[in-house]
Structure 1
Amino acid sequence: MGTLTYVAMLVFVLLATLPLELVLRTRVYARMTRLALTIVCVGVPFVLWDIAATRAGHWWFDLDLTLGIELPGGLPLEEWMFFLVVPIASVLTLEAVRSVRGWTVGDEQEERA
């Protein structure tokens, strides 16, 4: 797969969790503000950590497995997308488990409104 390896993994993660929204009606995409806040809260510290770690040489990205598009901080586009895709998949999974198990977290009144 070469340069599309990382992109393929991200697409797989999104496609694998999409049925959770469609079948279980988790309404994650319907609550975009909430989802965006989650992504920012998770993404910002981890992107900063990722930038610091790559600059310090703790890890690197194989340019043969990425598109070769570098964004601010020297991270490849796919790494930035990782911090968008994985939180979405995580929230979808959590909401699916909540739906199936009947777990409550205190926001149920908000969802009825």
Structure 2
Amino acid sequence: MHLTYLGILAGCLLGTLPLEFVLHVGVYRRWRRLAVAVLPVAVVFVIWDVLEIRAGAWHYDGAYLVGVTLPGSLPLEELLFFLVIPICAVLTLEAVRARKPEWSFGDEPQDDER
């Protein structure tokens, strides 16, 4: 039971991993770009989580955690959540972009930017 949270995160990664290799989206190959997209948001949410834990707004059930606690009483799994889920989201977005290149995603250069 202590591996539940990690298992869910692993399942998310394993579920989206084929998108990288089957559709050749290149998300992991462009790791710097991925880091720029994921890390700033992860830092903000980690700080928010630590503050809310300290304020007593929420806590984590140890029955579902491996027991590794980071500074600020943040469970390891929660830090991993803020990295894994955005990575899976980026993989999914890039897979849709690869399969549906005609769809607009809002980050295309405008005519005056070309």
- TM-score norm. by structure 1 comes to 0.87
What RMSD, in angstroms, separates the aligned Cα atoms of the two structures?
1.4
Q: CA deviation at 1:90?
A: 0.7
Between Structure 1 and Structure 2, which shows a larger proportion of helix residues?
1
Q: Please identify, of 96-105 and 77-86, the stretch whose mean Cα deviation from structure 2 is larger.
A: 96-105
The residue aligned with 1:99 is 98
Shift of 1:67: 0.6
Unaligned stretches of 5+ residues in structure 2: 110-114
Moved more, 11-20 or 98-107: 98-107
Query: Would you say the 8 A contact 1:20–1:96 is kept in 2?
Result: yes
Contact kept? 1:35, 1:88, Cα under 8 Å: yes
Once the two structures are superposed, the pairs formed by residues 1-16 of structure 1 within 5 Å of their partners are 2-16=1-15
State the match for 1:49 in structure 2. Answer: 48
Supply the distance in 2 between the matched residues of 1:57 and 1:99 (Cα, whole angstroms): 44
The higher radius of gyration belongs to 2
Task: Give the Cα–Cα distance (whole angstroms) in 2 for the partners of residues 98 and 73 of structure 1.
Answer: 38
> How many residue pairs align between the two structures?
106
Q: Structure 2 length normalisation: TM-score?
A: 0.87
- Aligned residue for 1:18? 17
1:111 corresponds to: none
Q: C-alpha deviations, 1:12-40, integer Å up to 9, x for none?
A: 00000001111111100010100111111
Conserved in 2, the CA contact under 8 Å of 1:42 and 1:87? Answer: no
Partners of 1:49 and 1:97 lie apart in 2 by: 31
